[in-house]
Amino acid sequence: MKPNILLIYTGGTIGMVKDFETGALRAFNFNNLLKRIPELQLLDCNIDTVSFEEPIDSSNMNPTEWVHIAEIVETHYETFDGFVVLHGSDTMSYTASALSFMLENLSKPVVFTGSQLPIGDLRTDAKENLITSIQLASLQNNNLAVIQEVSLYFEYKLYRANRTTKINAEHFQAFASLNYPDLAESGVHLKINDSYLHRPNLNKSLIVHKRMNTNVVIIKLFPGISEVVLRSVMETPNLKGMIIETFGSGNCSTEVWFLNLLKKAISNGIHVVNVTQCAGGSVMMGHYETSSQLKNIGVISGKDLTTESALAKLMFLLGEKTSCKVFKIKYETNICGEMIQN
């Protein structure tokens, strides 16, 4: 039996075509996808499409839309063998990371993809991204999906979604996964790196988590950040979580005012997470003197999380109403392959 694949079109450049008379880009009706891209009929699967009523640029994505995507997967989970989410590349890593937490016990592929050029453009990267994503979502072994997690395919590489970051606004190779190896590579053959794939417990059924708490903030440290700026952020009403992008392996200023502000935030019940502003590598609190104090006052280690994943995990765990007592332990524990195990 051919696998059934559902394409979920949310918006972004991939679904736009150039009007050759005016030169302007406009979204096209995704239900006519098969007509527009006849190559899709050569694929060894049945393809169905569902589109956001009003496709959006991914800069307008937010947790409400994440839930919308999760609900589409939930509704069609039994009838489809795999899902391909077409999404603008700008915030794709945020959405895909969030979905990896929201879709607990996922055992079917959810492949995010998009493109830098519209599908109608002569030099487009959209066709290869789309066609290979569908092929990857269709792969089966003994009637079981080969990919059983949320992933992101772009420019010949399949990545674990919650390990990705958009690194380039221009190159076709727009994404990178610096802290986790590629799940698959597309060349003459599709090369699947089996040992890096996530393997869920198949006896458990899908649970879709829909409560993401948005009372959070990300602060990128910079030399010269002032007390007044940091204080005003920490005094945001109802703030529940804060991600600090620190220097190198999790280091920050040792100035007294800085540490006192953090201490106060933590004693007020705000969860403070330390991630590095480097593109790759991990936070190691206590490695330098400039991070030991963070460890001592109870800052959570984001280890090797990307900022996108750190944000999604924070919103997710806050939404699950995780108690203050176990929040740090839960946050520092790997949930779905997003962080190093130890």
Q: Which is nearer to ligand ASP, 61 or 216 (CB)?
A: 61
Q: Which is nearer to ligand ASP, 3 or 120 (CB)?
A: 120
Interface segment toward ligand ASP; rule CB under 6 A; list 52-60, 71-79, 179-187, 212-220: 52-60
Q: How far is CA 225 from the centre of its chain?
A: 29
Q: Which is nearer to ligand ASP, 44 or 53 (CB)?
A: 53
- Structure tokens given for 79: 């009838």
Interface segment toward ligand ASP; rule CB under 6 A; list 18-26, 53-61, 130-138, 178-186: 53-61
Q: Closest approach of Cβ 68 to ligand ASP, in Å?
A: 15
By CB under 6 A, name the one of 6, 45, 51, 90 that touches ligand ASP: 90
Contacts of 247 (CB under 8 A, 6+ apart): 221, 276, 277, 290
By CB under 6 A, name the one of 13, 133, 179, 251 that touches ligand ASP: 13
Q: Which is nearer to ligand ASP, 52 or 80 (CB)?
A: 52
Would you say 290 and 253 are in contact if contact means Cβ atoms under 8 Å apart?
A: yes
Q: Does 89 bind ligand ASP (CB under 6 A)?
A: yes
DSSP codes, 32-82: GHHHH-GGGGGSSSEEEEEE-SS---GGG--HHHHHHHHHHHHHHTTT-SE
Q: How far is CA 145 from CA 46, 81, 139, in A?
A: 15, 7, 6
Q: Which is nearer to ligand ASP, 12 or 319 (CB)?
A: 12
Q: Which residue is nearest to ligand ASP (CB)?
A: 88
Q: For residues 155-214, which are near ligand ASP according to CB under 6 A? A: none
By CB under 6 A, name the one of 55, 82, 88, 250 that touches ligand ASP: 88
Interface segment toward ligand ASP; rule CB under 6 A; list 9-17, 176-184, 250-258, 297-305: 9-17
Tell me how many residues contact ligand ASP (CB under 6 A). Answer: 10
Q: For residues 238-257, which are near ligand ASP according to CB under 6 A? A: none
Q: For residues 54-73, which are near ligand ASP according to CB under 6 A? A: 57-59
Q: How far is CA 319 from CA 39, 212, 294, 322, in A?
A: 42, 5, 25, 8
Q: Which is nearer to ligand ASP, 125 or 304 (CB)?
A: 125
Q: Which is nearer to ligand ASP, 118 or 241 (CB)?
A: 118
| Alpha helix stretches (DSSP H) within the chain | 33-36, 63-76, 92-102, 126-138, 227-234, 256-267, 289-296, 307-319, 324-331
State the catalytic residues.
13
Interface segment toward ligand ASP; rule CB under 6 A; list 5-13, 42-50, 135-143, 237-245: 5-13
Contacts of 51 (CB under 8 A, 6+ apart): 8, 9, 10, 29, 30, 31
Give the other-Cβ count within 10 Å of 189's Cβ. 7
Q: Closest approach of Cβ 11 to ligand ASP, in Å?
A: 6
Q: Closest approach of Cβ 66 to ligand ASP, in Å?
A: 15
Q: Over 221-242, what HEC string results?
A: CCCCCCHHHHHHHHCCCCCCEE
What is the C-alpha separation between 201 and 193, in angstroms, rounded?
19
Interface segment toward ligand ASP; rule CB under 6 A; list 6-14, 131-139, 177-185, 226-234: 6-14
Single out the residue of 179, 197, 216, 204 nearest to residue 336, CA to CA.
Answer: 197
Q: For residues 98-137, which are near ligand ASP according to CB under 6 A? A: 114
Question: Given the rule CB under 6 A, which residues bind ligand ASP?
Answer: 11-13, 57-59, 88-90, 114
